[in-house]
Amino acid sequence: MTLERALFRQGSLYFLAFLACMVAAFWPSYFTRLLEQETWRQHAHGIALILWCLMLVGQPWLIRARQYAWHRRVGRASYVLVPILCVATMDLLRYRLAAVPRLEPGHFAFAALVINSLVAFGVLYGLAVWFRRRPVIHARFMVATVFPMFTPVTDRLISTHLPSVVPRLPLIEGVPNVPLVGFLMADAMLVGLSVWDWVSHRRWNVFPFALAVLLAYHWSFLYAYRFPVWQQFCAWVLAL
């Protein structure tokens, strides 16, 4: 099967699988404790993410059902949803770090994990919008928006269901580097999509670029926390 046939005919199933993984990952800490969350921030963040994933599930189905007008309407709704998602995520990050008496290197790494995942997501989503009149490119960039979201899902699934793996992972500031697993999975999948796209369509202008964006994001988590300029930026974000 060619990549484009898989995207347009089975895209909803792939996004549905990701949504199922997300629900499973957050089930113990969020979905079973809806009334026990500290503030409304957790709900704002969670609802925005769920709506985004539902949008990803629904859009390929609307294309397959030839509901092009509804596809465009839902797409325009993302112009509101995506800023809400980004603001809710940043607000939750600021809330969590504001409770820390003194920021340590691990906190700066966590900030890079959250902030730069939003940057990577924003770049890929922005390109999807830019190429909205070129469906084959638009669809590829929309698929790529999932990959910056891998670690919140993989971290929780590993910690909950594979806790014996955690102590064996490399350390970052004395803490097991659980996000590394999600990074490797996302990178491997993007390499596979790049190869599949080249074999199917001789196209080399979307997934390799998405991989480069993701690698920059991953590098920032692994190393940026050591630099004073990043630490100063995080302090500025908290002071906003």
Which of helix, strand or coil describes residue 176? strand
Q: Mean pLDDT score of the chain, rounded to an integer?
A: 94
pLDDT at site 84:
97
pTM above 0.85, yes or no: yes
pLDDT over 90 at 3, yes or no: no
pLDDT digits (tens, 9 = 90+) for 25-38: 999 999 999 999 99
CB 81 within 8 A of CB 52: yes
pLDDT digits (tens, 9 = 90+) for 147-204: 999 999 999 999 999 999 999 999 998 899 999 999 999 999 999 999 999 999 888 8
pLDDT digits (tens, 9 = 90+) for 104-151: 999 999 999 999 999 999 999 999 999 999 999 999 999 999 999 999
Element (H, E) at 172: strand 171-172
Measured distance CA(127)–CA(11) in Å, rounded: 19
**What share of residues in the chain are helix, strand, coil (percent, to 5)?**
80, 0, 15
